[in-house]
Amino acid sequence: MGWVRLAGVRTAWTTIEDGDFFCPGCGGDRNYERRVGHRRLTVLGLPLLTRGEVAPVVVCSSCDRHHGPEALDQPTTTRLASMLRDAVHTVALAVLSAGGARSRTARLAAVGSMRAAGFTACDEEQLLTLLVALSADRAASGADLADLADEPELRRVLEPLSVHLAPAGREALLLQGARIALADGPYEAEELAALSALGRALRIPVADVDRLLAAAPERS
Ligand SMILES: [Zn+2]
């Protein structure tokens, strides 16, 4: 029965897409190829019969490991860093729009947060210009600057990021907001409301939000 050894099933892969992903195999931002495969019965190396499709795979170009399509759900570290930077921006503007913008020390604390997050060119003047522009833009559509601290608005911006953050990462964002609010003295009612909305948008349990806000240091 020598022919049995000369026959086999081979998978022919076709690349249908490529891009960047975070490889869970070698742990970093890598290139990937998404491939679909067809199995063929081969005899003496010649493909004869199609034996159906195999599940698509995501192949890392660095380690060659095959992953399921869900490997593409995880953002790359570059994308995650950029989402985190935008989140700090959102948090700072939310707290400032909830009353903190009136105070220079709060504005400077926000500038400090934004610079630390990677907006290295951020300064008080730029922040004020942005707040004035946002305020005018909101007024034109009949809305208010304080809407920036509304929970649905915060949720829209922060949710895509917070699903990928560990609790400590989400708490750190809330604390950034708390420090800006505390820069000019104890929390005002609007600031507390904004920070509570922020905590809910970041899916931090209410008891933890209260504990974190109570323990936040007045000066960073
Ligand atoms: Zn890899």
pLDDT at 1: 46
User: How many A from CA of 28 to the centre of ligand 1?
Assistant: 7
Among 12, 42, 73, where does a domain finish?
A: 73
Average pLDDT, 10 consecutive residues per value, the chain (220 residues): 68 93 96 93 80 89 96 94 92 87 89 92 90 84 77 88 92 95 91 93 95 79
Report the number of distinct structural domains present in the chain: 2
Within this chain, do residues 83 and 191 fall inside the same structural domain, yes or no?
A: yes
pLDDT of residue 220: 46
Last residue in a domain, options 52, 73, 94: 73
The pLDDT score that the predictor gives to residue 4 is 54
Instruction: Give the domain-ending residue among 73, 105, 127.
Output: 73
Under 8 Å between Cβ of 218 and 182:
yes
Packing angle, helices 189-201 and 151-162, rounded to 10: 40
C-alpha–C-alpha distance, residues 114 and 212, integer Å: 21
**DSSP 8-state class, residue 84:** H
Q: How far is the CA of 71 from the centre of ligand 1 (A)?
A: 11
Ligand 1 centre and the CA of 21: distance in Å? 9
- The pTM of the full predicted model, rounded to 2 decimals, is 0.78
Q: 178: CA distance to ligand 1 center in Å?
A: 39
